[in-house]
Amino acid sequence: MRFTDLRPNSVFLVAYDSKPVGIYKWRANEKYTENEARAYEANLLLGLTVVPPTMVFAGPLGKGSFQEYVLNHGGSDDTRSAAGQEIGAFDYIMAHADRTSDNALARVHPFGKIAATDNEIIMQERVPFENGNIIISGFVADNLNRPLDAALVDTLERVDPREFSRNLQSMGYSRDGADWSAERLAEIQCEKMITGAAWGGRPIIRPDERPTYLPVQGEFYD
Domains of the chain: which residue ranges? 2-209
pLDDT at residue 16 in the model: 94
Mean pLDDT computed over every residue of the chain:
94
pLDDT at residue 217 in the model: 47
Report pLDDT digits (tens) over 7-24: 887 999 999 999 999 999
Per-residue pLDDT, averaged over 90-119, amounts to 97
Per-residue pLDDT, averaged over 75-102, amounts to 97
Report pLDDT digits (tens) over 44-68: 999 999 999 999 999 999 999 999 9
Contact of 169 with 178, CB cutoff 8 Å: yes
Crossing angle between the packed helical segments 175-191 and 150-157, to the nearest 10 degrees: 130
**Distances in whole angstroms, Cα of residue 31 to Cα of each of 22, 50, 118, 133:** 20, 21, 13, 17
Per-residue pLDDT, averaged over 133-162, amounts to 98
Residue 173 predicted with pLDDT over 80: yes
pLDDT at residue 213 in the model: 59
Other C-beta atoms within 10 Å of 63: how many? 13
Residue 207 predicted with pLDDT over 70: yes
